[in-house]
């Protein structure tokens, strides 16, 4: 099971190889995505907290990357964090999310990205519930709900 020390190790040494790769030009991403999706996923932006209904959506299913359709999170790992962004305790597989140290905004955090297409998803913090103790704080516009 993934824990905070493993996340820190992967942010330093690299995550496991992704299941596949999707690469597009900036123009192709702009054509595919809404302006907000492009800003968040391709330019590492952040949506306003509490701006998405996805925060309070707790139906069974999975969440995929809005850019490449790779399944990233299961609704069973979703929890109410009170932060204003959808939060999860773990990804579906260890190789679908990659981790990078983020020293922007005068602080040190760990950024989460889709390992398949490098889309910025959000950040991960060591203050989540058991059993992982992790909180994947993810921008709702970076995800889309899929049925399984």
Q: SS3 of 76, please?
A: helix
Residue 67 falls in the annotated catalytic set: no
For residue 132, pLDDT beyond 70? yes
- 133: CATH: 2.170.150.20
Cα distances (angstroms) measured from residue 143 to each of 3, 14, 40: 23, 23, 11
- Given this model, what pLDDT does residue 108 score? 79
Q: How many helices (H) and strands (E) does the chain have?
A: 3, 9
Confidence of residue 147 (pLDDT cuts 50, 70, 90): confident
* Per-residue model confidence as pLDDT tens digits over 73-126: 999 999 999 999 999 999 999 999 999 988 876 777 899 999 999 999 999 999
Q: Where is pLDDT greater, at 23 or 108? A: 23
* Per-residue model confidence as pLDDT tens digits over 27-68: 999 999 999 999 999 999 999 999 998 888 889 999 999 999
Domain count, the chain: 1
β-partners of residue 145 are 63
Pull the structure tokens for residue 3. Answer: 């824990």
* Per-residue model confidence as pLDDT tens digits over 4-17: 999 999 999 999 99
- Given this model, what pLDDT does residue 148 score? 67
Domain extent, residue 139, equals: 4-146
pTM, full prediction: 0.94
**Catalytic residue (one of 55, 65, 67, 137):** 137
- Given this model, what pLDDT does residue 56 score? 86
């Amino acid at each position: 099971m993934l824990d905070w020390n493993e996340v820190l190790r992967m942010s330093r040494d690299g995550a496991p190889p992704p299941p596949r790769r999707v690469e597009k030009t900036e123009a192709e991403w702009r054509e595919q995505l809404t302006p907000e999706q492009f800003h968040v996923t391709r330019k590492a932006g952040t949506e306003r907290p509490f701006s998405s209904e996805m925060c309070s959506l707790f139906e069974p299913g999975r969440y995929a990357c809005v850019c490449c359709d790779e399944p990233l999170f299961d609704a069973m790992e979703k929890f109410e964090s009170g932060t204003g962004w959808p939060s999860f305790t773990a990804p579906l597989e260890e190789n679908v999310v990659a981790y990078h140290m983020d020293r922007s905004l005068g602080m040190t955090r760990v950024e989460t990205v889709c390992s398949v297409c490098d889309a910025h998803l959000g950040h991960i913090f060591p203050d989540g519930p058991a059993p992982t103790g992790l909180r994947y704080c993810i921008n709702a516009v970076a995800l889309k709900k899929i049925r399984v």
